[in-house]
Amino acid sequence: MDIAKVGVIGAGQMGNGIAHVFALAGYDVLMTDISQDALEKARQIIAGNLDRQVTRGRIDAAEKDAALARIDTTPSLKDLGPCDLVIEAATERETVKTAIFEDLVPHLAPHTILTSNTSSISITRLASRTDRPEKFMGFHFMNPVPVMQLVELIRGIATDEDTYQTLHAVVERLGKTSATAEDFPAFIVNRILMPMINEAVYTLYEGVGSVQSIDQAMKLGTNHPMGPLELADFIGLDTCLAIMNVLHDGLADTKYRPCPLLTKYVEAGWLGRKTQRGFYDYRGEVPVPTR
């Protein structure tokens, strides 16, 4: 089917990034959030990121203006009903996501494809809470969305071939590359990435190395652009913990047990960059390790 109008649920870091790339690719975008302030802030962030692309010569001013004109916002979830494709990009909590789908489904057109940007939660289980499991898929963008080239496509047990092929074509139109993953906990990227981050936290917890030495070792020793603890702060420690819990609960293997130190940081509200403190303290001019 042809996709013309796209609904995005959530105006946070992932939601505004998804709205950005879809508008730039020529889709009409309707973004919703329970917070009007979040919607206004999202438009400002998208405008700033588009300005950055203009400055770097990746798009011109006319493309920027056209993209911004394609983005509309609404505080009402039901306004997304006529969209051809809806992408849920709310917080990584299954109860939140299922509540959103249950509220949204009665307003959807019969042809609408429903997707989740979840980084770890079962697509089959989320789809079962809707009226269209055959038109439901995981549509997992990487952060930051305008920069990262990968999109994971995750089929639930009931997802039909037309839905998969439609989303595969959408990814190509966005100028990105898709990787198809089976519906198992955390899919591909986070199945590999999160245990590495969790092991880095264990390495810190056990005193094998400091925050600085662990990150420096991985950056210089494996040529990673960011150390694992720095990356955890960027992702959000609450998100890292949530994904590790999904892996641990879903696969029942002790190798996925979240590090107690990761749990302690989340309990303290030290969630990384978004709260100004995580494995680093970001309140000064230069990030300083907190341990």
190 classed as catalytic? yes
Residue among 16, 49, 116, 190 flagged as catalytic: 190
Residue among 119, 122, 178, 198 flagged as catalytic: 119
Q: Measure the CA–CA gap between 48 and 227, rounded to whole angstroms.
A: 27
Total number of residues shown for the chain: 291
Whether the link from the prior residue into 106 is cis, omega within 30° of 0, is no
Give SS3 for 239.
Answer: helix
Q: Measure the CA–CA gap between 117 and 154, rounded to whole angstroms.
A: 10
Q: How far is CA 148 from CA 140, 152, 240, 265, 291, in A?
A: 11, 12, 19, 27, 30
Give SS3 for 178.
Answer: strand
Q: Measure the CA–CA gap between 209 and 286, rounded to whole angstroms.
A: 21
Q: Residue holding tokens 């190798």?
A: 255
Q: Measure the CA–CA gap between 185 and 115, rounded to whole angstroms.
A: 17
Type of residue numbered 157:
I
| CB atoms near residue 65 (< 10 Å) | 13
119 classed as catalytic? yes
152 classed as catalytic? yes
76 classed as catalytic? no
Residue among 16, 92, 140, 198 flagged as catalytic: 140
Contact 84, 2 (CB under 8 A): yes
Residue among 88, 92, 152, 230 flagged as catalytic: 152
Token pair of 289 as six digits: 């390790």
Q: Measure the CA–CA gap between 201 and 217, rounded to whole angstroms.
A: 14
Q: Residue holding tokens 């990761």?
A: 262
Active site amino acids = 119, 140, 152, 190
